[in-house]
Chain A
Amino acid sequence: MALIEIKNFKKSFQGHDVHKDINLSIFSGECLGIIGGSGVGKSVLLKSLIGLIKPDDGQVLFKNQDITKLNEDELVEVRKKIAYVFQNGALFDSLSVYENLAYPLKEHTMMTEQDIYQKIYKTLDEFGVLNAINKYPAELSGGMQKRVGLARSIIMDPEVILYDEPTAGLDPYNTKIIQETIIKLKNKNVTSIFVTHDMPSAFAVCDRIAFLNQGVVAAVSDVKEITNNNDNEISAFAKGLRP
């Protein structure tokens, strides 16, 4: 049974239909890649999975609960289980790296300051950014900001992680670190949804890939099969070629 189900999802902005009818199932423990051209609404779809954007119509079921019907207070419980990794980290620039990571822990747990420190220390160490613990986001490189953003997202041990282009604009070294982290989390049975344009990363971490085009899911297939799709546009996109 699917962990997350998107049914008849529709969303438009100022008369422009971004999503006409999206239907998609995400299963527990898998990593689903969502690909498609710029402006097809990949990030909109991802934000809808955590209730940051409400659809015009349709359902987003998480463990059979329709999150589109929940208000902000009710969504808190969902957001403890589903983490979101923002494209540019979205770190709070008035807080240090330590304070950024402590933020969800202080908000949702009764952990002592000592326990919070130990957890943050361990997490930052895993991501190789321990030296940034007392720095502010503005003092970090783009790659470090993304890694700290990812560390903040997983610190609550979520069941699902939504990645919004986590490798965009990164050097090969940082890209590799992010890929390894996603694979490590997948091995711990964390479900991942991975929005990307970076096809090598998608091939490295995803089990299945969904291709969005013209407001619908044009194809969903095993990661190895997407390049052999009958639709020339889909296979060319996956191969990084012009259709």
Chain B
Amino acid sequence: MNYFTMTYPFLIFLGGSTKLLYLSIKEFFKGKVEKDLVIEQVYQVGIKSLPVVLVTTGFIGMVMALQFGIGLAKFGGKLYIPKIISLSIVRELGPVFASIMISARVGSGMTSEIGSMRVTEQIDAIRALGASPIAKIVLPRVLGCFIALPVLTAFANTIGILGGLLVGSNDLGLDPNYYFQKVLSTINVADYMSGFMKCFFFSFLVSVPACYFGLNVKGGTKGVGIATTKTVVTSCIAILIGDYFLTKLFWVIEKWL
């Protein structure tokens, strides 16, 4: 296998998903936004994913508190736990884990739903009826993620910090008032926004590959399974790689400001 055969599918995906995003933005500016479909997607992405995201980030906060509590206790650094947890969660872990969980729960669902529609000719039926699959299928999902993911992240950040508080006060003997004071004095608007703004980018990294792989399903139901796997793997990797570059970008902006 040479470099060309390895990179060719990636280039096809990159081109295809960029085109899909472009077409979605074009439909958006044409005013072809179907409010009911967007609300349905916000419900699917936001409300229905809330328990999964809260459990994930809550336990991340708890595990972090436990690990840092054990590690820092050796150096008398337990008092730094609120600072470390709040900064890590708000800047990185909240947005990243919320996005990864949304990719796993919602992105995979989107691909399998769209893929099944493809296999059963429902996508062709939309086109045959003179409607646009981009406006009917893709745009509501892209907007649904764009609206819901930042809100989920706000919840994820809060629960993650509260998870740290739970372990900090019960297992590590930290005073809850002290914990809250430290959290509030540590996090500033720049910290919060550098994490929060990432969600808007991550929302595209979840929804666009999910729709792209769904629309390009080949080979029947087996193809739906393959496409679903591709979506989750691609989205998760894209979120982690994107996180690095966005962190660097926001770091430069913060320094510049």
Contact = CB atoms under 8 A, between A and B. Distances in A.
Interface in B92-139: 117, 120-122, 124-132
A50 interface: yes
Contact of B121 (A72, A86, A108, A152): A86
Contacts of B120: 88, 90, 93
Interface residues of A, number: 24
B122 A92 contact: yes
Contact of B127 (A79, A92, A93): A79
B127 A107 contact: no
Nearest to B126: A92
A84 interface: yes
Interface of B: 117, 120-122, 124-132
20 contacts: A50-B128, A52-B128, A72-B132, A75-B127, A76-B130, A79-B127, A80-B130, A86-B125, A86-B128, A88-B120, A88-B121, A90-B120, A91-B122, A91-B125, A92-B122, A93-B120, A93-B122, A104-B130, A104-B131, A107-B129
A75 B125 CA distance: 14
A88 B129 CA distance: 16
Nearest to A73: B132
Nearest to A87: B121
Contact of A86 (B124, B130, B131): B124
B129 A47 contact: no
Residue among A51, A107, A108 with the highest chain B CB neighbour number at 10 A: A107
Nearest to A76: B130
B122 to A, nearest CB: 5
B44 to A, nearest CB: 12
A60 to B, nearest CB: 15
A108 B127 contact: no
Contact of A79 (B117, B122, B129): B129
Nearest to A95: B122
- Cβ-closest 9 pairs across A and B: A90-B125, A79-B130, A90-B121, A84-B128, A76-B130, A104-B129, A86-B121, A107-B131, A80-B130
A47 B124 contact: yes
Nearest to B121: A90
Contacts of B129: 79, 103-104, 107, 152
Interface of A: 47, 50-52, 72, 75-77, 79-80, 83-84, 86-88, 90-93, 103-104, 107-108, 152
A14 to B, nearest CB: 11
Contacts of A104: 129-131
Contacts of A77: 130
A83 B125 CA distance: 10
A205 to B, nearest CB: 21
A81 to B, nearest CB: 10
Interface centre among B125, B128, B131 (most CB of A within 10 A): B128
Contacts of B132: 72
A103 B121 CA distance: 16
B130 A90 contact: no
Contact of B130 (A47, A87, A92, A108): A108
A93 B132 CA distance: 17
A143 B178 CA distance: 70
Nearest to B123: A90
A108 B129 CA distance: 9
A116 to B, nearest CB: 15
B92 to A, nearest CB: 37
A72 B127 CA distance: 8
Given A86-B125, A91-B122, A93-B122, 7 more contacts: A51-B127, A52-B128, A76-B130, A90-B120, A103-B129, A104-B130, A104-B131
Given A88-B120, A90-B120, A79 B128 contact: yes
A102 to B, nearest CB: 11
Contacts of A80: 130
A50 B129 CA distance: 10
A107 B131 CA distance: 7
A185 to B, nearest CB: 17
A47 B124 CA distance: 9
A109 B250 CA distance: 48
Contacts of B124: 47, 52, 84, 86, 90
A51 B121 CA distance: 14
A52 B122 CA distance: 12
A92 B120 CA distance: 9
